[in-house]
Structures are given as structure tokens and as C-alpha cells.
């Protein structure tokens, strides 16, 4: 008898082949509501492919991705967009849409349209502006934003969906330290509100400070999965990155010092 599929978003034994390269191999991961899960690993480990597969954008060659027991890719597009909000890596904006209108696009899965926003839509949009601290940018054309400003505006669009599951691929990659903290605060707030958040990250210190759970990937497989304190102090994890890791506990929580091995 096969094992029961857990509720929520779950990948069960998935493998993904892109061209002739097997990017994921026998990966299983259940995403838990209320958790901010940091997905870390060296370049080419399969993190982006895993997130895209969880979002239903890629079909696994083996295994399954399910949402509450139903195949993700079999869900109607609008239903999937309401349940799963996906922030791609290095997203772009190619037309001079106002930032407020860009963020409002996050309400489209709920039936909203320009000039036809319900009070619920407006409240969700304003909440997204507050979480990402981009209120002063709302009247700017999105094409005039800096890379970091654009990244926060695109995150606001994702948060405006108010989906049960948020999948963010390197959400802090182009941000200065102040706005890295603001974005991680926003994602942590989503998790505290009961949503499941998965964020691809490269900063071990930020991952250790903010995540409830860290999943380490290496060569298309999950190499480690657990609480931040246990993961960052595991010598196997340091070996995955080819570095030495020192962990310090302080009043503000875990701090991670990294040096070349």
C-alpha cells in the first residue's frame, strides 16, 4: 500500500529531467503551514527547479506534486493562482505600469480587474504595500524603479494574492541590507499568519535568523532538512558549500560566520 499523501503542498519522489540533465532526483518535501522554509544549496543544486515544480510550472518526470491530495498541474489555473503565489528569480517589468496597478495584478485570480476592486481587494493591496514598505513608490511607473525597488514591488504583487502558499525564488538577491531585512520580515509575517512560505536563499545567516526550517539541496537531492540551529552547525552542510561555518548564539538569535574552507 502506498503512503498517504500529506495535506497541503507536497512533492513525493519527484525527478525532473531538463534536456539530458537530471536536475532533481527522488525529492520529497511537504510544505507546512505556518513555516518559513529556507531552501539553500550551491549554484546548480536544483533549488529553482524544485520551486518551479512545486508551483506547477514544470512537470516532474517521476513522482507527483499535490495540493491537498490533488495534482497541482490538474488544478484550474485560477484556483492554482489563488492557492500558490510564485515570485520568480530576477523578475522584470517591461511596460510603464504604475506600481499600484502592478501590485493590484495580484488580485486577478480573485476576479479583480482595473477599476473593479472590492474592499477586500483594496485591503489586500494596502497590506502588501505595508509589508514591503513601497507605499511611496505607488505612483511611479514600474520601469523607472531600481532593481531593488522593482524586486519589492513584485513581491508586493505576490503578497497581494494572499495565497495559502508563497514560493519565492531568491527574494533578497538584489536588495541592500536594510531591504533584505524588510523582505524577510514580510515573509516571516506571512508564515506567522498561517501561510506556508518557501524561499530560495543563498545567505546562510539570514536563513538561520528567519527560517523555521532549512532544507539543503546538493546535486538535485535533499542533503539535509531540519531546524536552523541544527542545520547550520552540521559539518555535512559546510561540506556541501565548501566552507567552514561557525555559529554564535546571541540576544538577537543565531548568527553564522562563514569562511573559505
Q: Give the CATH number for residue 148.
A: 3.40.50.300
Q: Does residue 22 carry a pLDDT above 60?
A: yes
- The string of pLDDT tens digits covering residues 89-104 is 877 787 899 999 999 9
Q: Is 158 within the bounds of a domain?
A: yes
Q: Does residue 5 carry a pLDDT above 70?
A: no
Q: Is 1 within the bounds of a domain?
A: no
Q: How confident is the model at residue 140, as a pLDDT?
A: 96
Q: Is 2 within the bounds of a domain?
A: no
By percentage, how much of the chain surpasses pLDDT 70? 92
Lowest pLDDT segment from 9-13, 125-129, 159-163, 254-258:
254-258
Q: Is 23 within the bounds of a domain?
A: yes
- The string of pLDDT tens digits covering residues 30-52 is 999 999 999 999 999 999 999 99
Q: Is 4 within the bounds of a domain?
A: no
The total domain count for the chain is 1
Q: Is 184 within the bounds of a domain?
A: yes
Q: How confident is the model at residue 259, as a pLDDT?
A: 66
For residues 2-10, give the mean pLDDT. Answer: 65
What is the C-alpha to C-alpha distance for residues 257 and 144, in angstroms, rounded to an integer? 36
Domain residue limits at 23: 9-260
Amino acid at each position: 500500500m502506498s503512503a498517504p499523501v500529506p495535506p497541503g503542498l507536497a512533492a513525493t519522489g519527484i525527478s525532473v529531467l531538463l534536456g539530458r540533465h537530471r536536475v532533481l532526483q527522488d525529492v520529497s518535501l511537504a510544505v507546512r503551514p505556518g513555516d518559513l522554509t529556507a531552501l539553500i544549496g550551491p549554484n546548480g543544486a536544483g533549488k529553482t527547479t524544485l520551486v518551479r515544480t512545486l508551483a506547477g510550472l514544470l512537470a516532474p518526470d517521476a513522482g507527483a506534486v499535490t495540493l491537498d491530495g490533488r495534482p497541482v498541474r490538474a488544478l484550474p489555473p485560477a484556483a492554482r493562482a489563488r492557492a500558490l503565489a510564485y515570485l520568480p528569480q530576477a523578475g522584470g517589468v517591461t511596460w510603464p505600469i504604475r506600481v499600484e496597478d502592478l501590485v493590484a495584478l495580484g488580485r486577478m485570480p480573485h476576479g479583480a480587474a482595473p477599476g473593479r476592486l472590492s474592499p477586500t481587494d483594496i485591503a489586500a493591496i494596502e497590506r502588501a504595500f505595508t509589508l514591503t514598505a513601497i507605499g511611496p513608490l505607488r505612483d511611479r511607473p514600474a520601469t523607472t524603479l531600481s532593481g531593488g525597488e522593482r524586486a519589492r514591488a513584485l513581491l508586493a504583487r505576490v503578497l497581494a494574492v494572499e495565497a495559502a502558499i508563497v514560493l519565492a525564488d531568491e527574494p533578497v538577491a538584489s536588495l541592500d541590507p536594510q531591504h533584505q531585512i524588510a523582505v524577510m520580515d514580510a515573509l516571516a509575517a506571512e508564515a506567522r499568519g498561517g501561510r506556508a512560505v518557501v524561499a530560495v536563499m543563498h545567505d546562510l545567516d539570514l536563513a538561520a535568523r528567519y527560517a523555521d526550517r532549512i532544507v539543503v539541496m546538493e546535486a538535485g537531492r535533499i542533503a539535509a532538512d531540519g531546524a536552523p540551529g541544527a542545520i547550520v552547525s552540521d559539518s555535512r552542510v559546510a561540506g556541501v558549500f565548501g566552507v567552514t561555518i561557525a555559529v554564535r548564539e546571541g540576544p538577537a538569535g543565531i548568527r553564522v560566520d562563514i569562511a573559505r574552507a
